[in-house]
Amino acid sequence: MIGCLTAPFRAVGCLVILTALAWGWWNRDRVMTEAHRLMDRAGIEAGTGTAKPASQSGSIGRPGQRARRSAEAKIDSLNGWRADSVVLSAAEVASLLGNGLDARLRKRLDSIRVELGEGEIVVNALFSTAALPRDMLGPLGGAVRPWEPVQVAGPVAVTRPERGEWTVRRFRVRDFPLPRELMGRLVGRATGDSVRQSIRFRIPPGVRDLHVHRSGATLYGSPPR
C-alpha cells in the first residue's frame, strides 16, 4: 500500500532529474563558463585580490596584489640597484599587464589568466560583449552571451619609454578562431582605435626591452651611463 502511494512521487522525482539533466546538456557551454568563473574567483583571497599560490605554477599565472608588488620590487632593482635584467613569473606578468591596460578595456575583462610562451603571451579571460555590435561577430552574433570566454595571443614589445605593445596574432571566442579581418575589427573596437590590430599598455619606467619565454619574461633595464 505504501509503495503504491510513493510511486507517483518517485515518478515526479525522476522527471525532475531528467529535466535538470536535459537543461544542463543544452546549456553546457553556459554551465562550464560559469563554473570556470566561480573557480577563478575561488582562487582569490578574500579582500586582497591576491591569487593563491596553488594557481601560480609553471608558465601560467593570474593577476594579484602580491604578484604585482613582487614585480614592482624586481623592476625597482633595474633602476635603483642597476641590475642588468630581471625575470618575471607568469603571475607577475599578468599583474603588470592587467594594471597597464587601458581602463576601458580592463573593465571588459574578468578572470584573467596569462600563459607565457616562446616569444608571446596568451591571455584567457571572460570578455564583456555588451559594447560590440552583433554583426561584427559574424556567425556567432546571434548566439553571443553577455560574457564570453576568449583567448588572445601574440608577441609583446617595448615600443618607447613606459609604453608596450601587444600584437594580436590569434583571437578565439569560445572555441571559434576569428579570421584576421574580423580579429582586427574586434581588437579595434575593444581598444577604441578602429585601425589598430595591437593593444597598447603601460610599462614601468626603466624597462627598455623584454623577451618572453615559457620559463619567464626577462625585462632589461637601461644601459649604465
The model's pLDDT over 73-98, given as tens digits with 9 standing for 90+, comes to: 999 888 776 778 999 999 999 999 98
Q: Are residues 208 and 116 in the same domain?
A: yes
4: left (phi over 0), alpha (psi -120 to 50) or beta: alpha
Contact 61, 114 (CB under 8 A): yes
**pTM for the structure as a whole:** 0.69
Kindly state the cell numbers that stand for 49: 585580490
Residue 48 lies in a domain: no
In this structure, are 83 and 173 located in the same domain?
yes
Find the mean pLDDT for residues 107-135: 89
**pLDDT (0 to 100) of residue 114:** 96
Highest mean pLDDT out of 4-13, 23-32, 127-136: 127-136
What is the residue range of 155's domain? 53-221
88 and 15 fall within a common domain: no
Tally of structural domains, the chain: 2
Give me the pLDDT at residue 154, please. Answer: 95
> Mean pLDDT lowest for which of 38-42, 160-164, 178-182?
38-42
Q: Are residues 117 and 201 in the same domain?
A: yes
Give the pLDDT score at 162: 92
Q: Are residues 59 and 36 in the same domain?
A: no
As a whole number of angstroms, the distance between CA 91 and CA 94 comes to 5
Do 174 and 100 share a domain, yes or no?
yes
Answer whether residue 112 is part of any domain: yes
Helix axis angle for 90-100 and 65-79, nearest 10°, is 90
Q: Does the CA dihedral 205-211-215-221 come out positive or negative? A: negative
Please indicate, yes or no, whether residues 69 and 168 belong to a single structural domain of this protein: yes
Tell me: do 19 and 103 sit in the same domain.
no
